[in-house]
Amino acid sequence: MIIILLKDLRQRAKDSTLIVFAIVLPLGMAFILNAVLGGTGGDFKARYAVADADRGAAGGGFVRQVLEPMRDSGVVTLRTVATAEEGRALTQRGEVEATFVIPAGFSADVRAGRPATLEIVGSVAAPVAVQVAREVGQAYVTGLRSVQLAVAVVSPSGTAPDPERAAGLAERAGALPVPLSVREDTSAVRRQLDTTTYYAAGMAMFFLFFAVVFSITSIFDERRAGTLTRMLAAPVSRPAIVLGKLLSGILVGVVSMTILVVVTTLVLGARWGDPLGVAALVVSGVLAATGLMAALATFARTAEQASNWQSVVAMVLGIFGGVFFPTAQLGALTTLGYLTPHKWFMQGLADLAGGGSLPAVAVPVAALLGFAALGGALALFRVGRMVHA
């Protein structure tokens, strides 16, 4: 078995196709998906500019009470520009995603109850950041409108409110507590992968199923070349031949996953979590992929047929396992994800993202080992058909 293992490892090291599926493709897809979809999930970041030509109480309040707290919390970066034209130029060049333009007379219009406009200039290349800017501006304007309505309600009908009295009423209305607010409970554990880690882990697990296929389907290649017949004639048991092939696939899978974890951490900034927990998930995930692909190969007649079947199964498992998009988008089919190793692997990483360690991934690891045991047992049970010359 050891001789078969070493022979297969030498062959796999020279196989450029394996390197492509085990390392190049998952890394490339993780880079692409992170670049294209990185702004749609995880921690929100945006670059805004503000041009305050008003210099009044209402315009200054928007900057001090809304934009600067967002900047201080690290949600956005904020640049102050002198004119609206400068802000538009920054937005057009892509240096900021949106510019808030507070026109001259904005505070006076608000104070007098006249229509006031807060302009937002957004970049078409950053729809999410622009939408957030629009909602922030709309929320502030709605608050000002509420103050105006409160002043109008208590003022005598058909008469213009006294400026001093109106200012006092507006100040009192603005100081009232908000009747309903939403806040994040920071004491709760956040079991959610950031965008970079999500796609890095998803692509690593998805292409793992293709990486382990080569060691398994090599049985068909050796049967066709006649070398399998010579191995069967030697004092080597059939299970030993299959186990040698499976072990080479397991080692290839562990090495490729380790490379992907290290590279995505150093280059993309992925946060995989506790090293021991990640190691347990990687090893159990490789065992699950190898066992399932080996079991599927026993039903094929040729290497081509086995590769085709395994590709289809790997794609279906990847979709329902949530490596391309969150499985919540599948609606009623979401629960099917728990029938895939991918779902348990991603679930384990999410548990680690919440600050957990090795004990936190006990259930996902057990589920992955269950897939490995089921597939491996079926492959060994059908070993006679698999190596039949």
Q: Could you say which of 175, 210, 236 is where a domain stops? A: 175
Alpha carbon distance 127, 32 (integer Å): 19
pLDDT, tens digit (0-9, with 9 covering 90-100), for 326-354: 766 666 677 888 899 999 999 999 888 87
> Cα separation of 297 and 284, whole Å?
20
Question: Does 164 lie in the same domain as 231?
Answer: no
Considering only residues 37 and 320, tell me which one the structure prediction assigns the higher pLDDT: 320
Tell whether 184 is covered by a domain.
no
Domain with 137, as residue range(s), is 44-175
Same domain, 26 and 87: no
Give the C-alpha distances (Å, rounded to integers) separating 242 from 36, 41, 86, 176, 332: 42, 43, 69, 75, 39
CA distances from 302 to 11, 216, 218, 305 (A): 20, 12, 10, 5
Taking the C-alpha atoms of residue 202 and residue 208, their distance in angstroms, rounded to an integer, is 10
Is 185 part of any domain? no
What is the pLDDT averaged over residues 291-295? 87
Q: Report DSSP state, residue 162.
A: P
- Residue 116 sits in the same domain as residue 67: yes
**Contact status, residue 290 vs residue 372, Cβ threshold 8 Å:** yes
Contact between residue 79 and residue 96 where contact means Cβ atoms under 8 Å apart: yes
Last residue of a domain, one of 175, 205, 235: 175
CA separation, residue 334 to residues 203, 216, 322 (Å): 19, 30, 9
- Rounded to two decimals, the pTM is 0.62
Q: Are residues 203 and 294 in the same domain?
A: yes
Looking at every residue in the chain, the average pLDDT score rounds to 77
Same domain, 199 and 348: yes
Q: Has residue 183 been placed in a domain? A: no
For 89, 136, 191, the CA distances from 142, given in Å and listed in that order, are 28, 10, 34
22 and 66 fall within a common domain: no
Residue 163 domain-assigned? yes
Residues 371, 302 within the same domain: yes
Average of pLDDT values for 284-307?
84
